[in-house]
């Protein structure tokens, strides 16, 4: 060869000076960096036989070939990788240089050494039946999330800064499973003022959301749990995973028929009294009093899911059932609908006799809700930012609801709309036997939504209702009109 490997130009190495690239074994007197070295971390195992340089080259080739190092990934400088692997810098430089020549890597001054751009390897087509193509979702009308674009980033960031600066040092130690006292104090004031909840901070336990709270309670109960005949299968599944069977309570325009509770043998009942999910409407005042009377007489427990009680449009605020008897009602709320499900922050307002059991079930250390988010939410509530955000979003969601109602009145007047006085969803009442066809038509239009049938308890004795559950919180503002246009095209024609 006219040019020896030792004389080849080495790739540029940011942070280290190019030097001779002849291989040098690691050992006493070898050019091995000492002390901590700044740079990019890269895990490599130099297994197999051969020289250190060849083993390093094989490890790098395999990392690139397998996709673990993607095209454009910047590799550590010679000195940093040599220090991490315990080998000579010149050995790394030589390996880099050869892999540059082979086309595995590229080296440019100022950019360091990177994985070369390579054509993506297409995975081999699996033998067997072809998978059905999944239709692309163009419009999300699922009633599961608020408008992500409306998250109050500026106000949240201001609260985060204030909260972190003001936090005591113990806030950054092992977390208290009850939750940060700052958040529990802020929630006690807010829930009393805005939702009619009667609670002291010592009776509030922070959790990661309603599902987490329900799982904690399910593990403490012993008998069956009564649930609304229309509700989330996910919640029924959580109870069943904890060993609790569920008994359906019929639902009508006044909410769950809680008068049926004595005959169910249930130890607890799960309700959405502020806005029944998914059929809509609050629990009638007489039934609110009746369910508390049942709990007192039977020693039972009412679990109140206040999932979107803050959003109301055409009615006076409906207070929490918990306010009627704090010793028989567990109130569970979260920031999932009011702010964002990404926060994973919720709260349980518990009867005093249940607090220690729930804390013990949660565990000795906080493993669920991040402390910084708790501190931030506490500041967000205490400074009035939460109230301002809710008022803003109430106006915004009401505008969407009104547009939904107007559009249906103009384009599909034969379709009834219910459950629209509060919350983030509406129910479109369909002619009998048309729900499945409407769902298929919706999928063809690129709509993500569900029918009432998806929420019906499998043991319910009530005749099934045909309808579509339409969430109007998720679509971004600019896309909502197009989503409604697609929805109208999916609805059944008038009889």
**Structure confidence at residue 422 (pLDDT):** 86
Question: Would you call the peptide bond into 485 cis, given omega within 30 degrees of 0 as the criterion?
Answer: no
**pLDDT tens, position by position, 373-415:** 999 999 999 999 999 999 999 999 999 999 999 999 999 999 9
Residues 197-214, mean pLDDT to the nearest whole number: 95
pLDDT over 60 (residue 226): yes
Q: How far apart are the first and last CA of the chain?
A: 87
Q: Which two tokens stand for residue 40?
A: 């990019």
Four-residue CA torsion sign, 214, 216, 217, 222: positive
Is 313 buried (19+), middle (13-18) or exposed (0-12) by CB count in 10 A?
middle
Domain 139-145+388-490 top-level CATH class: alpha beta
Average pLDDT, the chain: 87
Is the CB of residue 59 less than 8 Å from the CB of residue 25? no
Size (the chain), residues: 495
Closest CA to 353 of 222, 206, 181, 202: 202
The band of 118, judged by pLDDT with boundaries at 50, 70 and 90, is low
The band of 485, judged by pLDDT with boundaries at 50, 70 and 90, is very high
Share of the chain above pLDDT 70, in %: 88
247-256, 301-310, 423-432: segment of lowest average pLDDT: 301-310
**Domain segments of the chain as ranges:** 5-115, 139-145+388-490, 151-386
**Structure confidence at residue 124 (pLDDT):** 41
Residues 150-162, mean pLDDT to the nearest whole number: 97
**Running DSSP on this structure, what letter comes out for residue 201?**
G
- Please tell us whether the domain made up of 151-386 is placed in CATH 3.30.870.10: no
Cα–Cα distance, 6 to 62 (Å, whole number): 24
Please give the residue that has the higher pLDDT: either 121 or 247.
247
Topology alike, domains 5-115 and 151-386: no
Is the CB of residue 246 less than 8 Å from the CB of residue 240? yes
Give CA separation, 362 vs 2, 177, 336, 348, 431, in Å. 71, 7, 20, 12, 46
Is 154 buried (19+), middle (13-18) or exposed (0-12) by CB count in 10 A?
exposed
The band of 134, judged by pLDDT with boundaries at 50, 70 and 90, is low
39 Ramachandran zone, left/alpha/beta (phi>0; psi -120 to 50) = left
Domain 5-115 top-level CATH class: mainly alpha
pLDDT over 70 (residue 129): no
Please give the residue that has the higher pLDDT: either 246 or 131.
246
**Structure confidence at residue 28 (pLDDT):** 43
Predicted structure pTM score: 0.78
**Structure confidence at residue 495 (pLDDT):** 81
4-18, 30-44, 240-254, 346-360: segment of lowest average pLDDT: 4-18
Residues 464-480, mean pLDDT to the nearest whole number: 92
**Structure confidence at residue 39 (pLDDT):** 59
């Amino acid at each position: 060869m006219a040019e020896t490997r030792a004389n080849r130009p080495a790739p540029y190495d940011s942070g280290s000076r190019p030097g001779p690239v002849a291989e040098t074994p690691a050992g006493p007197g070898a050019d091995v960096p000492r002390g901590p070295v700044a740079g990019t971390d890269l895990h490599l195992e130099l297994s197999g036989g051969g020289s250190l340089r060849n083993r390093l080259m094989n490890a790098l080739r395999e990392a690139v070939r397998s996709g673990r190092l993607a095209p454009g990934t910047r590799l550590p400088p010679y000195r940093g990788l040599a220090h991490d692997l315990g080998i000579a810098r010149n050995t790394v430089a030589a390996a880099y240089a050869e892999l540059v020549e082979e086309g595995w890597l590229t080296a440019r001054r100022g950019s360091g050494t990177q994985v070369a751009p390579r054509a993506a390897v297409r995975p081999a087509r699996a033998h067997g039946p072809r998978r059905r193509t999944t239709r692309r979702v163009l419009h999300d009308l699922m009633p599961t999330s608020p408008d992500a674009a409306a998250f109050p980033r500026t106000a949240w960031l201001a609260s985060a800064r204030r909260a972190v600066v003001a936090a005591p040092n113990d806030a950054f130690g092992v977390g208290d499973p009850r939750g940060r006292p700052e958040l529990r104090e802020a929630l006690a004031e807010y829930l009393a003022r805005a939702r009619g909840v009667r609670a002291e901070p010592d009776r509030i336990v922070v959790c990661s959301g309603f599902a987490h709270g329900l799982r904690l309670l399910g593990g403490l109960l012993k008998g069956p749990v009564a649930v609304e005949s229309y509700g989330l299968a996910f919640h029924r599944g959580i109870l069943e995973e904890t060993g609790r069977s569920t008994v359906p309570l019929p639902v009508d325009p006044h909410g769950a028929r809680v008068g049926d509770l004595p005959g169910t043998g249930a130890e607890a009942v799960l309700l959405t009294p502020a806005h029944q999910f998914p059929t809509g409407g609050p629990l009638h005042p007489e039934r609110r009093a009746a369910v508390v009377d049942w709990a007192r007489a039977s020693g039972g427990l009412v679990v109140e899911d206040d999932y979107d009680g803050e959003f109301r449009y055409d009615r006076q605020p409906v207070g929490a059932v918990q306010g009627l008897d704090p010793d028989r009602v567990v109130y569970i709320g979260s920031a999932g609908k009011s702010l964002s499900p990404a926060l994973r922050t919720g709260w349980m307002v518990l009867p005093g006799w249940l607090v220690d059991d729930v804390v013990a079930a949660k565990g000795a250390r906080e493993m669920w809700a991040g402390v910084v988010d708790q501190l931030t939410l506490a500041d967000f509530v205490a400074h009035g930012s939460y109230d301002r955000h809710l008022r803003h979003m109430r106006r915004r969601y009401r505008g969407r609801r009104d547009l939904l109602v107007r559009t249906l009145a103009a384009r599909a007047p034969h379709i009834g709309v219910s459950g629209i006085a509060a919350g983030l969803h509406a129910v479109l009442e369909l002619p009998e036997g048309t729900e499945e066809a409407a769902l298929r038509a919706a999928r063809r239009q690129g709509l993500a939504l569900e029918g009432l049938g998806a929420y019906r308890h499998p043991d319910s004795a009530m005749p099934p209702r045909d309808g579509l559950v339409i969430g109007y919180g998720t679509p971004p503002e600019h896309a909502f009109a197009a989503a409604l246009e697609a929805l109208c095209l999916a609805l059944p024609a008038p009889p």
